[in-house]
Amino acid sequence: MNYCASDKRYDNMEYVRCGKSGLKLPRLSLGLWHNFGDNADYQNMKAMCFTAFDSGITHFDLANNYGPAAGAAERNFGKILADSLSPYRDELIISTKAGYDMWDGPYGNFGSRKHLLASLDASLGRMGLDYVDIFYHHRPDPETPLEETMGALAHAVTSGKALYVGLSNYDGDTMAKAAKILDTLHCPFVINQNRYSMLCRTIEENGLKQASIKHGKGIIAFSPLAQGLLSGKYLTSVPEDSRIKTDGRFLKESSITREYLKKAKKLNALAAERGQTLSQLALSWIFSDGAITSALVGASRPSQIIENVNALSSPALSSEELESIEHDIQDK
């Protein structure tokens, strides 16, 4: 049966402008970092993409190295596009990135013009696209001049292969320098992507959050559930179908410490008082100060996407609840 998107897909999702740009992103975006590689079930991938789009999630975020194997997520998403989502291409924001290890040799990673532009061409080929909506540099490169990396991003736009550009894993000072270069090149740099959650405040510590606001750039938070630590699934045990058991590359069982469990159980109790799950509380917190444009959620099944979307209808956190969260986080 051919996929036909829900005619109610825009009824309940909020769309937020990326900084001072004209681009709007949904409050929640779907990240394909996990569960879209060649070790995953293709029908489940399709079901997750359809559930996301039917719920108003128009943004699908990838990178050249997402898998396993590297490139697999783009290739699998490209198949879903060709099979089912291509009629809706103009309703979609599709992003990809380059900068982490992708192929052997000196040009397979980081921020050279050679790597970025070759990688973008390969990503477009895997997805069967003429352009992506956002092309990111995935991580800073200390050995390549910032002018070269930013020039490559600008070329991606002028060549028609990207509409906007973004930076991922940059700190505030480096982002500000990059923004100045991109402004000179008249390149539409609109968004920063970084890890951010109740348990990880790096963008506050490295100045990115403040700099993004100052320079009018959006922020999209990845790992808002702290790789699953704020999903609620580890409160009593480590499930056999959890990411720790089935993958273990990025989240280890050693992360389930006594200190973590103490914090997570207190946060879960607050979530229950609000009629939320722990993951929904985590998403409510992400948007509590208005600085975050969108949160990238991953999923292993469609029901998790629906649970995350339902968080958007919850009341805003009160000042007392925010204080309670900070107390619980800091409590040793």
State pLDDT tens for residues 159-178: 999 999 999 999 999 999 99
pTM of the model: 0.95
Q: Is the pLDDT of residue 77 over 80?
A: yes
Structure tokens at 308: 């995350």
CATH number for region 15-234+278-316? 3.20.20.100
Q: What angle do CA 229, 167, 35 make, to 5 degrees?
A: 40
Structure tokens at 231: 């999903």
Q: Is the pLDDT of residue 155 over 80?
A: yes
Amino acid identity of 198? M
CB 112 within 8 A of CB 144: yes
What are the residue boundaries of the structural domains of the chain, listed by start? 15-234+278-316
Residue 1 confidence (pLDDT) = 57
Element at 93 (helix H, strand E): strand 93-98
State pLDDT tens for residues 21-76: 999 999 999 999 999 999 999 999 999 999 999 999 999 999 999 999 999 999 99
> What 8-state DSSP symbol labels residue 270?
H
Q: Is the pLDDT higher at 289 or at 237?
A: 289
Residue 275 confidence (pLDDT) = 97
State pLDDT tens for residues 101-127: 999 999 999 999 999 999 999 999 999
